[in-house]
Structure 1
Amino acid sequence: MSDPSEKRARAERVAALRPAYRADLATGPARFLGVRRTTCPWCGSGRLSERLRTTDLLQHKPGRFTLDRCADCGHVFQNPQLTEAGLEFYYRDFYDGLGEQRMSGTFGRRTAMYEGRARAMLPYDPAPKTWLDVGTGHGHFCAGARAVLPGTSFDGLDFTDGVELAAREGRVDQAHRGAFPDLAPELAARYDVVSMFHYLEHSTDPDRELRAAHQAVRPGGHLLVEVPDPDSRYARLLGRWWLPWLQPQHLHFIPAGNLRRRLTELGFTVLAEQHAEPHDPVDLLAAVWLALDHAAPREDAPWLPEPPGTPWRALRGALLLAGVPALLTATLLDRLAIRPLAQRLHLANAYRLVARRE
């Protein structure tokens, strides 16, 4: 953001939002967390251990968050979990508001990834007539997928106003706004394909979302699910700097075996499990950036008590500039050295399942 007028406009927006954030944080961020669980939300086991403690490394909103792991099924989950008020607070100004332009630009540039996701369906249904993308955001996947499936009608579903923007921009044919489990009865057996790309990890109840998907997919239709892989070696090697932990937004991390079994129980047949294809080669780059951004003074944000002064802004710029060689090195390692070997080395950061409703 080099345009002085844009900088002034953003500074004014931040100043206007600061009183509301100050009121939200008057009693501290602890109120945004619920009651700590003593059993696994996936299998019910009481054999839990702490997997990770971290903070909000992307927005730097106040708060500390813990991920626990179940010793019996391997499920990793945020514990205690964000309350409804906490979800609203930590999502605010990330995908919309202050963060809308940045995130829209980030997602809008990933056309090759979206086309790859659409091609994953071709061996099982080369010409689906109807496709529902759950958690579609601003609909960028649907827009990119049309190049692969020009005859498919793409609908989007999300609980934010981004899905309505997607409809206005022509990225989706029909927008469904709300919670998927609530909308599923009116969408019953309507779709040849339902996709959930990096959606389940945001859900407060993944099992309820999967049951909604079973309802919306027609018999013989397909479900595509893509989620972070908690068994990736990067999750251990990079610790809190592993981007897919994405605290506090990501609430559940489901091992592939768990998800396969649950889909089978619901009446799906899992046709494919992919690891290399959905791997996004950004782990080292993101880890270096998160560490640099954490070490540098904060840029102004409405949840800060006061805007940082000029010396702090200058110091931030100098530290980030000094980190450019490390960022470039990490990018080259991600794309050229690690990417071809990601699956073999168990470093793939995501997996994808393709399942058919019987």
Structure 2
Amino acid sequence: MPTRPIHEPRREDCPWCGAPGPRTRLRAPDLRHGRPGMFTLDECRACAHVFQNPRLTPEGLALYGAAEADAARRRRHRGTARAIQRRCAEPESWLDVGTGDAAFPEAAKELFPYTSFDGTDPTPRVVAAAEAERVEEAYVGHLAHPAVLRHVRGRYDVVSVLHHLPHVLDPRAELRAAVAALRPGGHLILELPDPASAFASLLGKWWHAHGQPHHVHLLPPANVRAELEEQGCTILTADRSAAHLPTDLTTATSLSLHRSVPAPLAGTLTAAARTADVMLAPVLSHTRLANSYRIIAQRCA
């Protein structure tokens, strides 16, 4: 059992803009693993930032463990890499933030065989990734930690931050550190779940991006854009359709059935939902049901 609190005190203001009186967006248990506890996501009435409240402490996050990587997201890594290729054909150096086992650098190397990829991650998985030669340099810890940031500041032509910010306690600090790691003129690519997706209200606690207790923050794109511009970046693209992940129906079906329906039936229904996600994605990605967004920004010279 942990000897320190696993929750911080509940806060009555927004951690992003400081506005008072957030509203409750939803309450949900740990649906994926069934571990004890009920978690609350609040939403700022002023800037629409969504945040876990009370928030887990670092000890609490460690206790509940990390969420599994999403298989559909892995399949889309090449598309993410191509989005940078159109802007920066031959980057010399690339840092992947929150890289985990470095699945993204491994996929991106197919398009950028001469690029040096490094990675950061809060877990030692990045060390194993370096040993497997999926990244060259590995840094254990959050990018914003001074011990990590001093090694990477101003070094990279490209920095990627893919579905990592929802899992960190201070996403603004991590975002600023990502900008700081860029060389002047370097490119930053971000992918994040969109809290304004219509799937959020349709699926509620079953929506994959609400994923409690692992998603501590959900950042509206307008807030991220404003922060990047304040840090001296130019927004090159901001797009939902290319970043959409065909996982909404699959995850909702799996989470809602896996403890209440016999495994063979649950598997059949989940497979049907996966097929529907994939078939509908080309249409849904251009509607309010798009569940993610991608921002590409350039650090001013």
Work out whether the TM-score is over 0.5.
Answer: yes
1:304: which partner in 2? none
Is residue 149 from structure 1 mapped to residue 91 from structure 2 by the alignment? no
Alignment check: 8 A CA contact 2:194 2:220 kept: yes
Mapping for residues 6-45 of structure 1, pairs under 5 Å? 23-24=1-2, 31-45=5-19
Offset from partner CA, 1:301-350 (integer Å, 9 cap, x none): xxxxxxxxxxxxxxxxxx121223422331222111x2011233211111
Is residue 286 from structure 1 mapped to residue 246 from structure 2 by the alignment? no
**Bigger Rg, structure 1 or 2:** 1
Amino acid across the alignment from 1:218:
R
1:54 match: secondary structure = strand
Mapping for residues 178-217 of structure 1, pairs under 5 Å? 178-182=141-145, 183-217=148-182
1:4: which partner in 2? none
TM-score by length of 2: 0.94
Equivalent of residue 96 in structure 2, options 133, 136, 152: 133
Offset from partner CA, 1:195-232 (integer Å, 9 cap, x none): 10011111111111111112110110011111111010
2:17 match: secondary structure = coil
**Which one has a larger percent helix, Structure 1 or Structure 2?**
1
1:238 match: secondary structure = helix
Mapping for residues 347-358 of structure 1, pairs under 5 Å? 347-358=289-300
1:120 match: secondary structure = helix
Structure 2 CA distance for partners of 1:178 and 1:265, relative to 1, 3 Å? same
Q: Distance in 2 between matches of 1:115 and 1:345?
A: 23
Offset from partner CA, 1:45-83 (integer Å, 9 cap, x none): 113100010011112211110000011111100000001
Is residue 65 from structure 1 mapped to residue 39 from structure 2 by the alignment? yes
Is residue 88 from structure 1 mapped to residue 62 from structure 2 by the alignment? yes
Is residue 324 from structure 1 mapped to residue 267 from structure 2 by the alignment? yes
Aligned residues: 298
Q: Distance in 1 between matches of 2:49 and 2:251?
A: 24
Amino acid across the alignment from 1:233:
A
Alignment check: 8 A CA contact 2:161 2:189 kept: yes
TM-score by length of 1: 0.80
Q: Distance in 2 between matches of 1:174 and 1:57?
A: 35
1:342: which partner in 2? 284
Alignment check: 8 A CA contact 1:57 1:294 kept: no
Structure 2 CA distance for partners of 1:196 and 1:110, relative to 1, 3 Å? closer
Q: Distance in 1 between matches of 2:220 and 2:33?
A: 27
CA RMSD of aligned residues (A): 1.8
Question: Which sections of structure 1, spanning at least 5 residues, go unmatched?
Answer: 1-22, 96-102, 297-318
Amino acid across the alignment from 2:180:
Q
Quick one: percent identity of the two aligned structures?
Answer: 42
1:58 match: secondary structure = coil
Offset from partner CA, 1:158-204 (integer Å, 9 cap, x none): 12110000001111111111221121122111000111001111111
